[in-house]
């Protein structure tokens, strides 16, 4: 009788929670691997016939794009999994989603800098201003770019300090690594 009660309890919400977490982790692993394979193909592809002048730059851009894609994928997966987990705990998501629209407007007004950072990051990536591995001068910081995200760029200076630069605050940048065009 006791084993039957445990089985019925476990086959309800605890099993659903474990399945949701397992599927989220599986999607993250498969999606991450797919992004890595696609980015490696792009990094090693021969898009421009002739002498190989921009292959190192192409690899840097692909690595940067891969980092942004993985972050976006992970964020999306865990937001969906979080919503599914909340529903398993009995939280009614209808009112939460309805109030998210009203709250979204209020947060949007307060999150203008976040939007500016993300938009600046998108344009920075499209325009290929700098990438991972480039040596840059920005604001009072001079060093090598370690990561590039949609919102923040990290730069390590010669003394080993890691600087976090918000993309929306970067008004002027010097790139020592970009070849002459």
Of 172, 169, 162, 150, give the one whose Cα is nearest residue 69. 150
Coil vs helix vs strand at 181: coil
pLDDT at 28 over 90: yes
Residue 54: per-residue pLDDT: 60
pTM for the complete prediction?
0.56
Q: Is 17 exposed, middle or buried (0-12, 13-18, 19+ CB in 10 A)?
A: middle
Q: Check: CB of residue 152 under 8 Å from CB of residue 164.
A: yes
pLDDT value of position 87: 85
More confident residue, 128 or 156: 156
Give the pLDDT band (50/70/90) at residue 155: very high
Q: What is the tens place of the pLDDT at every residue in 50-103?
A: 555 566 767 777 787 888 888 889 989 998 999 888 888 888 888 877 777 777
Catalogue all structural domains in the chain, each as residue range(s) with its CATH number.
Answer: 2-109 (1.10.287.1260), 125-175 (2.30.30.60)
As a whole number of angstroms, the distance between CA 40 and CA 123 comes to 23
Q: Is the pLDDT of residue 173 over 80?
A: yes
């Amino acid at each position: 009788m006791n084993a039957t009660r445990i089985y019925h309890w476990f086959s309800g919400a605890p099993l659903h929670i474990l399945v949701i977490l397992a599927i989220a982790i599986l999607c993250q692993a498969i999606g991450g691997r797919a992004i890595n394979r696609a980015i490696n193909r792009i990094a090693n592809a021969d898009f421009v016939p002739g002498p190989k002048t921009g292959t190192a730059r192409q690899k840097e851009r692909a690595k940067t794009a891969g980092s942004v894609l993985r972050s976006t994928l992970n964020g999306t997966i865990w937001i969906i999994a979080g919503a599914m987990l909340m529903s398993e705990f009995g939280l009614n998501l209808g009112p939460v989603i309805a109030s998210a629209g009203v709250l979204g407007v209020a947060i949007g007004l307060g999150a203008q800098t976040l939007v500016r950072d993300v938009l600046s990051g998108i344009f920075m990536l499209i325009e290929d201003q700098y990438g991972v591995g480039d040596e840059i001068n920005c604001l009072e910081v001079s060093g090598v770019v370690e990561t590039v995200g949609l919102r923040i760029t990290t730069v390590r200076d010669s003394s080993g300090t890691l600087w976090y630069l918000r993309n929306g605050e970067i008004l002027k940048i010097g790139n020592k690594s970009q070849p002459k065009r």
